[in-house]
Amino acid sequence: MKTGILALQGSFQEHLESLKLIERDFILIRTVDDLEEVGSIILPGGESTSMIKIQENNDLFNHLKIKILTGIPTLGTCAGLILLAKNSILGKSTLNILDCDIERNGYGRQNQSFEGKVQFNNFNDNYCFIRAPKITSVGSGVKVIAKMEDEIVGVQSNNIVGLTFHPELNNEQNYLNWLDNFVMKGLNVGAL
């Protein structure tokens, strides 16, 4: 099975490069039919409002939600986390499957983007926060898996991981090892 990367808008190309580095087959998800071959999913950063508007007429998110709820490994970074969370965006529903609240642009606008030291999955590295959302609360079944000082910047609930930062921009070996275990082997699903 392939890893599907939501490719409506945003940093899907960078995630594609990460998957190439771990020699993982992938497919770009633009239509419902693209979900047939998918055994794991990546929802990239970008503009969450645009992604919701782009897919509105083809019902892609309803099918995407069904696929994720089957238990396949799913990673959402930045805007991808926003799409997974239980918030609404401009009155439109997100996928609403990750029990956490998100503040869009929680660290500021584009010109306030930064790199921060993150502890993620037992390793530390600097990661990019680009118009990053802020996780303001998590539900009882959600584990904190990444922190930047006292800030929660990564969460997991069963097969779903949401990160406020962009590990695909670094592609350092610790992240690639984690990604390989998560999407390719499913070893980290529910185990962090």
Q: Give which of 78, 44, 88, 100 is closest to 163, Cα–Cα.
A: 78
Q: Give which of 33, 145, 85 is closest to 4, Cα–Cα.
A: 33
Catalytic residue among 14, 15, 78, 100: 78
Active site residue 78: yes
Phi-psi region for residue 23, left (φ > 0), alpha (ψ -120 to 50) or beta? left
Listed in sequence order, the residues at least 6 apart from 42 whose beta carbon sits closer than 8 Å to its beta carbon are 3, 4, 5, 6, 12, 15, 19, 74, 75, 76, 77, 80, 183
- Token pair of 114 as six digits: 């930064």
Active site residue 128: no
Active site residue 63: no
Catalytic residue among 15, 63, 100, 168: 168
Distances (CA, A) of 3 to 12, 48, 59, 70, 134: 12, 20, 20, 15, 26
Catalytic residue among 15, 63, 100, 166: 166
* Residues annotated as catalytic (active site), given as ranges: 78, 166, 168
